[in-house]
Amino acid sequence: MPEQLAFTIEVFLNGLMAGVLYALVALGFVLIYKASGIFNYAQGVMALFAALTLVGIIDGQVPFYHLINAIFGTDIHYFGWKVNSLVAIVVTMLVMIALAWMVQRFVFRHLVGQEPIILFMATIGLAYFLEGVGDLMWGSEIKTLDVGLPQGINATIDEATFNLTGYGFFIDNLDIIASIVAAVLVIVLVLFAQYTKQGRAMRAVADDHQAALSVGVSLNFIWILVWSLAGFVALVAGIMWGTKSGVQFSLSLIALKALPVLMLGGFTSIPGAIVGGLIIGVGEKLFEFLIGAPFLGGATENWFAYMLALVFLVFRPQGLFGEKIIERV
């Protein structure tokens, strides 16, 4: 097999893996959008916040130690214990549920019935707020997250492909795990939405707030549930990305990567988020490899996804799987 083709296939596979990770973030967006019509820009920052909290709990950091030290002149940093990863994940999840409750109680309860674009801007404010709080709570330096996920080249695939084609493919173990987790997550979420009582209530709220309210669905509960689910997805995404590239501010920028995925797949479709993620992941990696790096000076990954989505939208404004947009006066 010629070298160039082997490279291309490798890039393709890595693109698929990256796409899965994008889809993971996009999933959180879709969940909230479907149930409450809120386009949650803060999803990426929620992932960052979850990862920061997780690292902080594992390392036994004192929350707000920076601020406390500045105000009281003390010099504390750590409690001096290490927490088991699983326990830490559970505690972080509790924090995310508390966050969901607070977001619902203090922000979106007061914004019911506002225009979608106002809600969108509120989530941008929320993103800034959370980013600031996360930094104040846990400090803004780059941290490494290790919850025991395997990392590095997968030896089996490397060997198998080497025997087959004469060139060993580099596939990261973490990416494989991320894909499996994402697949499981999607299946669980779809089953949850289709077959459980809460899932049905969630879909009812998504369909029509008032009708759902009138048959006895608690809007408040459903919205807290949805934000908690989004917090859970953010935690999973935060663990994956945090393990991959460290917990730092740039983690919140994955939200920006998820936006074109959403545009491509449609804001209301869970399968759309997956397919869109895969298309974007593969598309940008292949474009960078085949055209971007050799001819355009590289770093095309920053904008390729957006341009692809933009061109695509001109032909199909509701995205691949989105519901048809019907407008009336």
Partner 1 sequence: MFYREAGDFSTTYAQDQQTFPIKFDRYRYYAVLFVALFVIPFVVNDYWVNSLFMPFLIYAIAAIGLNILVGYCGQVSLGTGGFMAVGAYASYKLMTAFPDVSMFIHVLLAGVITAGVGVLFGLPSLRIKGFYLAVATLAAQFFLVWLFNRVPWFYNYSASGQISAPERDTFGILITGANTQAWATYTFCLIFTIFSAIVARNLTRGSVGRKWMAIRDMDIAAEIIGVNPLRAKLTAFAVSSFFIGISGALFFAIYLGAVEVGEVFGITKSFLVLFMIIIGGLGSIFGSFAGAAFLVLLPVLLKIVGVDWLGWPTDIVAHLQLVIVGALIIVFLIAEPHGLAQLWRVAKEKLRLWPFPH
Contact residues toward partner 1 (CB under 8 A) are: 39, 66-67, 70-71, 107, 110-111, 114, 116-118, 120-122, 124-133, 135-136, 140, 256, 259-260, 262-263, 267, 296-300, 302-303, 306-307, 309-310, 313-314, 317, 319, 325, 327-329
Q: How far is the CB of 109 from partner 1 (least distance, A)?
A: 9
Q: How far is the CB of 173 from partner 1 (least distance, A)?
A: 31
When the beta carbons of 174 and 270 are compared against partner 1, the nearer one is: 270
Q: Is 126 exposed, middle or buried (0-12, 13-18, 19+ CB in 10 A)?
A: buried
Q: How far is the CB of 189 from partner 1 (least distance, A)?
A: 22
When the beta carbons of 57 and 262 are compared against partner 1, the nearer one is: 262
Integer angstrom CA distances of residue 233 from 6, 156, 162, 236: 34, 29, 36, 5
When the beta carbons of 110 and 324 are compared against partner 1, the nearer one is: 110
Contacts of residues 219-227 at CB distance under 8 Å and 24 or more positions apart, as own/partner, are 220/104, 220/109, 222/35, 222/198, 223/35, 223/36, 223/104, 223/108, 224/97, 224/100, 224/101, 224/104, 225/198, 226/31, 226/32, 226/35, 226/36, 226/202, 227/32, 227/99, 227/100, 227/101, 227/103, 227/104
Q: How far is the CB of 195 from partner 1 (least distance, A)?
A: 30
CB 205 within 8 A of CB 212: yes
When the beta carbons of 21 and 103 are compared against partner 1, the nearer one is: 103
When the beta carbons of 93 and 121 are compared against partner 1, the nearer one is: 121
Integer angstrom CA distances of residue 144 from 45, 54, 89, 152: 17, 11, 15, 15
Q: How far is the CB of 222 from partner 1 (least distance, A)?
A: 21
Q: How far is the CB of 317 from partner 1 (least distance, A)?
A: 5
When the beta carbons of 168 and 322 are compared against partner 1, the nearer one is: 322
Q: Is 324 exposed, middle or buried (0-12, 13-18, 19+ CB in 10 A)?
A: exposed
CA–CA gap between residue 137 and residue 133 (Å, rounded): 6
When the beta carbons of 215 and 329 are compared against partner 1, the nearer one is: 329
CB 23 within 8 A of CB 272: no
CB 235 within 8 A of CB 89: yes
CB 169 within 8 A of CB 10: yes
| Dihedral angle, C-alpha 220, 223, 229, 234, nearest 10 ° | -120
Q: How far is the CB of 151 from partner 1 (least distance, A)?
A: 29
Q: How far is the CB of 262 from partner 1 (least distance, A)?
A: 7
When the beta carbons of 5 and 310 are compared against partner 1, the nearer one is: 310
When the beta carbons of 116 and 150 are compared against partner 1, the nearer one is: 116
Q: How far is the CB of 252 from partner 1 (least distance, A)?
A: 11
- Our CA angle for 151, 281, 171, nearest 5°, is 30
